[in-house]
Homo-oligomer: A and B are copies of this chain.
Amino acid sequence: MQRKATMKKLNSAEIARLAGVSRSTVSRVVNGYANVPSETRDRVMKVINENEYYPLLSGQLLAGKRTGTLGFFWISDSAIADDIQSSTFLVHVTESAAELGYLVLTCILKNLTDKENINYIKRIFLQERIDAGIFIGVNNNEPLLDELTSRGKIVGVFDHFRPDCNEPNRISVNFEIDTGGKAIDYVCGMGHKDIAIIDGNMNRYSSVKRHESFLSGLQRHNILIRREWMYYADVTEPSGYKAAKELLENCGQLPTVICANNDSVAFGVYHALEEAGISIPGQVSVIGIDGHVRANLVSPPLTSFAFDFRKFFFSLVSRTISAINQKEGNPLTEFIPSVLVERASCLKIN
């Protein structure tokens, strides 16, 4: 039924008038409270449905209801639209939230070093536009997270682990910590001994853990760690390209395999190797970590330890929502396991 300009304003008072009850009762029906006899409930619901009445959010909020909205804060200095994988994260968060009855307010920011960006995020929390915020791409020790949690705000952070903090309003989801070691086990099993490592961004919990487990994996296999085969990148493709180029220029002898911190970095490694006329995997094998959607599209298809990102974000979003509802025994973090996806980029040798 259409609301004409000349019609009375459609608020709870008007519904109450039409149904012959008080606004209190309308509110009780709208909110599904038990103490309304079914006859009254039906009569009120009929009026509500006929008029397509929905309580205005503004009134509900002021009376103390929650927004039913999560903030989604994506921090990345590279253009997110250009990275296919990034964009899917946003979709996973939105769909997970929707499944649980929540809406998502999406914010994309270049960095958190800019005071203006920090204030932008704080404003969204302090205006109470959202019940909690999901964060991607923040440093593990980001002070903003500490400030928000100490103010009682709820944050759900991707790739974040702070054993020194166990506030119930600091939720996170993490990659298993030993994927680097699994990658080393795998390439050693393929006969590789000359192993190069391209590390990620050491401000990310996952990158640190992969670094550590790359190294302990090498030790476990009694493989000499050669400084000229260890390079630092970031988590992006261009950073992987740059690091691999430096490696190629300075390494003297080529390694037989390059283990990349993640698949995007591996794509950068591909680029550098191709440019140098080095065949993959003929001369140098490459292995990644992530299970990037592009891993199957590049040539040769990239062997990688893959993660189910749908699962990642559902875990993060659902536990963040549990924190909003102050559920008891809500796990503060979850470590998600990887699955090896063997493709064509890593060759068995000898």
A-side residues, CB < 8 A to B, are 2-3, 52, 54-59, 61-62, 69, 72, 80-82, 84, 86-88, 90-92, 94-95, 98, 103-108, 122-124, 126-129, 147, 150-151, 293-294, 297-299, 310
Partner of A54, one of B86, B90, B123: B123
A54 near B127: Cβ-Cβ < 8 Å: yes
Residues of B within 8 A of A3 (CB): 151
CA distance A62 to B55 in the complex (A): 12
Partner of A108, one of B57, B94, B124, B128: B94
- Residue pairs across A and B with Cβ atoms less than 8 A apart, 25 shown, are A52-B122, A56-B128, A57-B127, A57-B129, A58-B62, A62-B62, A69-B105, A80-B91, A81-B88, A81-B95, A84-B84, A86-B91, A87-B88, A87-B91, A90-B90, A90-B91, A94-B106, A94-B108, A95-B108, A98-B107, A103-B124, A103-B129, A105-B105, A294-B297, A297-B297
Residues of B within 8 A of A151 (CB): 2-3
- Given A3-B151, A107-B103, A297-B297, the answer on whether A128 and B58 have CB atoms closer than 8 Å is yes
A169 to chain B, nearest CB (A): 14
Residues of B within 8 A of A55 (CB): 127
Count chain B CB atoms within 10 A of each CB in A55, A58, A104, A128 and give the residue with the most: A58
Minimal Cβ-Cβ distance residue in B for A299: B299
CA distance A59 to B90 in the complex (A): 30
Count chain B CB atoms within 10 A of each CB in A52, A59, A90 and give the residue with the most: A90
Residues of B within 8 A of A297 (CB): 294, 297-298
